[in-house]
Amino acid sequence: MLLNRFEFALMNNPVRAAVQHHVEARRLLRMGGAMNGGRALEVGCGRGVGAGLILDVFGAHSVDGFDLDPRMVARARRRLGRRGSNARLWVGDATTIPVENDTYDAVFDFGIIHHIPQWRFSLREIARVLKPGGRFYAEEVLGAFIRHPVVRRLFDHPQADRFDAAEFRKGIEEAGLAPQATEKLGGAFAWFTAEKHRSA
């Protein structure tokens, strides 16, 4: 689902970019390691901050990214324009990713899947497009935070079937990925790394 006006503004400010760079990316790098080349996908690319981190911090050779909001994709294209063929972006939906099976060495989720009503479908799509041995890096907002009365007043998140860390980890497993590491910040946020089974 598209971000409301408040969350759109929140996601498009320097504080959000700083948190993504200094907290989220560093934690996921520590948990899952660098890519050292290869092709990556960012689910919900926003204005392109994450795609830049995937190239510069995680060391991907190239990154694809998509977002449901055309405004975000336009901003990401402006931000990543100098990257040329190393960054490819489109408007799209995480429940139907238009690429072949076994395409990516890594897939990144910087807090997007909690916006998706059918979030398990997106995990299955992520598993499908990962190569065997490919890694999934995810930072997610958990149901207890989403259901908080103040958060419900400010944000338009789906309310049904929201996950806690254990349920998201189970969803990762059911999608065909092997969880590697999980870290939580109370009941509000969690970070995950997983790997697609090499025999897949």
Confidence band (pLDDT; 50, 70, 90) for 6?
A: very low
Helix (H, G, I), strand (E, B) or coil at 36: coil
pLDDT in the model for residue 83 = 80
Q: Residue 106: exposed, middle, or buried by beta-carbon count in 10 A (0-12, 13-18, 19+)?
A: buried
pLDDT at 3 over 70: no
**For residues 126-138, average pLDDT:** 98
Domain annotation for the chain: domains and CATH numbers:
5-196 (3.40.50.150)
pLDDT at 57 over 80: yes
Q: Which residues pair with 139 in a beta bridge?
A: 110, 191
For residue 186, which phi and psi values (nearest 5 degrees)? 55, -145
pLDDT at 29 over 90: yes
Q: How many CA atoms lie within 13 A of 184 on its CB side?
A: 14
31 Cβ partners below 8 Å, 6+ apart? 137, 180, 181, 183, 191, 193
Q: What is the pLDDT of residues 167-182, one digit of tens each?
A: 999 999 999 999 999 9
CA 139 to CA 190: how far, in whole Å?
Answer: 6
Tokens coding 184: 């939580």
Mean pLDDT lowest among 15-29, 62-76, 161-175, 183-197: 15-29
Confidence band (pLDDT; 50, 70, 90) for 78?
A: very high
DSSP-assigned states of every residue in 132-199: EEEEEEEEEE-HHHHTSHHHHHH-----TT---HHHHHHHHHHTTEEEEEEEEETTTEEEEEEEE-TT
